[in-house]
Amino acid sequence: MDEEYDVIVLGTGLKECILSGLLSVDGLKVLHMDRNDYYGGESTSLNLIQLWKKFRGDDKPPEHLGSSKEYNVDMIPKFMMANGTLVRVLIHTDVTKYLNFKAVDGSFVYNKGKIHKVPATDVEALKSPLMGLFEKRRARKFFIYVQDYEENDPKSHEGLDLNKVTAREVISKYGLEDNTVDFIGHALALHKDDSYLDGPAMDFVKRMKLYAESLARFQGGSPYIYPLYGLGELPQGFARLSAVYGGTYMLHKPECKVEFDENGKAYGVTSEGETAKCKKVVCDPSYLPDKVKKVGRVARAICIMSHPIPSTHDSHSVQVILPQKQLGRKSDMYLFCCSYAHNVAPKGKYIAFVSTEAETDHPETELKPGIDLLGPVDETFFDIYDRYEPTNKDADDNCFISTSYDATTHFESTVTDVIAMYNQITGKELDLTVDLSAASASADE
């Protein structure tokens, strides 16, 4: 341990593992440590006995739920966009060879008390019960505009400069109703609240295009994919990658104290009386609590069920987004469901999550609109955790701290944070121009 490293990474959460993998591939000498004796940190996956221990305090789950080891219950459940940045990172680093993915069956939105499939193309817009006849025609025109939009082809811009006009202005040009805007903005463009409406339209249109392109990748019922055996496979895949490129891993290292010099710059990490020196420290908020601030809380329910979520066409894996306006809330609510189809539960069992940014101290009450959509539930666990953001300047202290995971059940915001951290640590852009057909081969239809 008394060696010198370019970077020491603390915590084996998904963000930290992706970064240690990317930095190792770049040729940096990386030491990766964790106080836990397992990979994944906050974003680990638990078997049934571990789940019972964490939430019920004993390790005796009822026998009727089946074998403990057949469960892989994600603590931060998220699907990935088939054409999204995380998939590009996986291909760029070749981590795809350690994982098998399967398309997610369904993508739905909650509207006026019912669950509907999310229409993502002009053809789907015409079939959707979410809109009346005239609104369908307007939505179809809007979808065609988005599908045909090419940044480098002014003919496709219809006179709109998307860097200057707001999303609200583009939407009003097509005369779309509030209800339509609600599902497009939240279930297609995956915005967490309505603040995007007054931002430049470019990001909004790009997000819609990403959804449609991801949907087309596997011709499945959704734009999402998810690894077999759960997300716990991802940190381990990146850990293997780092090891292949010379990264060193040490689990179960107590304390992990970051050492600072007289100028306040981190120069190493001490554990069990030994100090490893480094130029930079990368970690999750729990390792440097005095350099982060609390910015919110996530409330969630973890439910074990013996059936799919009703009204989702019997989907074995599905995301349902409940836009804030539909619930009279400040933030969206998310339903995530996976099952034995992705090897995260025994045959016939489903794991559903309901999550949202907490607005009260009562997760049971707050999550009720989502839980009510699940139908009968075998077991429910409630959880609430704090979200943190770094307050330090990495140029002053050589510390690069990730933000906590939000309530969303997709990876778009997580990967944005990772890419931004990579840029800060290395001073360069991550090249993600990759051949996406490579991923198609690794995703099981």
Vertex 14, ends 90 and 191: CA angle to 5°? 80
3-state secondary structure 191-214: CCCHHHHHCEHHHHHHHHHHHHHH
Which of 101-115, 207-221, 341-355, 413-427 has the weakest average pLDDT? Answer: 207-221
Identity of the amino acid at 44:
T
Tell me the pLDDT tens digit for each residue of 35-69. 988 888 888 899 999 999 999 998 789 999 999 99
Tell me the pLDDT tens digit for each residue of 308-340. 999 999 999 999 999 999 999 999 999 999 999
CA 361/CA 344 separation, integer angstroms: 30
Whole-number pLDDT of residue 1: 61
Is the pLDDT assigned to residue 409 strictly greater than 50? yes
Whole-number pLDDT of residue 201: 96
CA distances from 109 to 114, 216, 259, 349 (A): 8, 19, 48, 23
Give me the domains of the chain, ranges plus CATH numbers: 4-43+231-291+391-431 (3.50.50.60), 55-105+223-229+294-387 (3.30.519.10), 117-217 (1.10.405.10)
CA distances from 411 to 55, 167, 320, 362, 405 (A): 25, 22, 15, 26, 10
Tell me the pLDDT tens digit for each residue of 125-153. 898 999 999 999 999 999 999 999 999 99
Which of 210-214, 295-299, 347-351 has the weakest average pLDDT? Answer: 210-214
